[in-house]
């Protein structure tokens, strides 16, 4: 048993904070709880009315309660499904747009960022994303300017074939950076989300 290698214990991570974005999470927790509670309240009131009228007339209201339960279940399911569609669209739209922007950034392009739609969620995250995007674009522009200055300074002193090849590489790099910064793409992203 002493020959067995000792496996280090993996650290366990316990998440203690469940409300990370108070405004966003509490808004939808309250809406979901309200839809569920409202649906159950309406069902309960209707079931109570059926029960009281059945007791007053001496008729068995069991079949009516069964139909009412089925209708309440389907109605609640449809209401929550439609709310889910609306909610996921308000979150999935911005995520989809940002993933397109990240793909463009990975390809070396800097598209024009457009603001999110009025009802979209994740606006604070998108603002931070846009700020980071702009900083990367600015740094790229500064690097393109620095490369342009270096190329201009080295043009006269590049006499050997190796130096001219290095200067051509720097010129190509400067041109690529300048193209990415000065010619943002925009048409691809207008119809998204």
What pLDDT does 193 receive?
38
For residue 185, pLDDT over 90 is answered with no
The model's pTM is 0.63
Report pLDDT digits (tens) over 25-82.
888 889 888 888 888 888 888 888 888 888 888 887 778 888 888 888 888 888 888 8
Report pLDDT digits (tens) over 95-130.
999 999 999 888 888 888 889 999 898 999 999 999
Q: Residues 56-95, buried b or exposed e (16+ Cβ, 10 A)?
A: eeeeebeebeeebeeebeeebeeeeeeeeeebebbeebbb
């Amino acid at each position: 048993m002493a020959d067995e290698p000792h496996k280090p214990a993996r650290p366990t991570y316990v998440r203690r904070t469940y409300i990370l974005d108070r405004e966003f999470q509490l808004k939808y927790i309250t809406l979901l709880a309200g839809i569920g509670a409202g649906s159950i309240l309406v069902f309960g009131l209707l079931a109570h009315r059926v029960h009281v009228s059945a007791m007053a007339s001496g008729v068995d209201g069991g079949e009516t309660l069964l139909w009412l339960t089925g209708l309440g279940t389907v109605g609640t399911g449809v209401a929550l499904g439609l709310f889910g569609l609306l909610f996921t669209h308000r979150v999935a739209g911005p995520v989809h747009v940002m993933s397109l922007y990240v793909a463009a950034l990975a390809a070396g392009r800097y598209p024009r960022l457009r603001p999110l739609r009025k009802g979209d969620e994740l606006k604070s995250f998108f603002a931070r994303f846009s700020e980071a995007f702009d900083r990367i674009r600015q740094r790229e522009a500064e690097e393109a300017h620095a490369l342009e200055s270096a190329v201009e300074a080295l043009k006269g002193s590049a006499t050997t074939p190796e130096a001219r090849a290095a200067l051509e590489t720097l010129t190509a790099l400067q041109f690529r950076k300048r193209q990415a910064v000065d010619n943002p793409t925009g048409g691809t992203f207008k119809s998204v989300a």
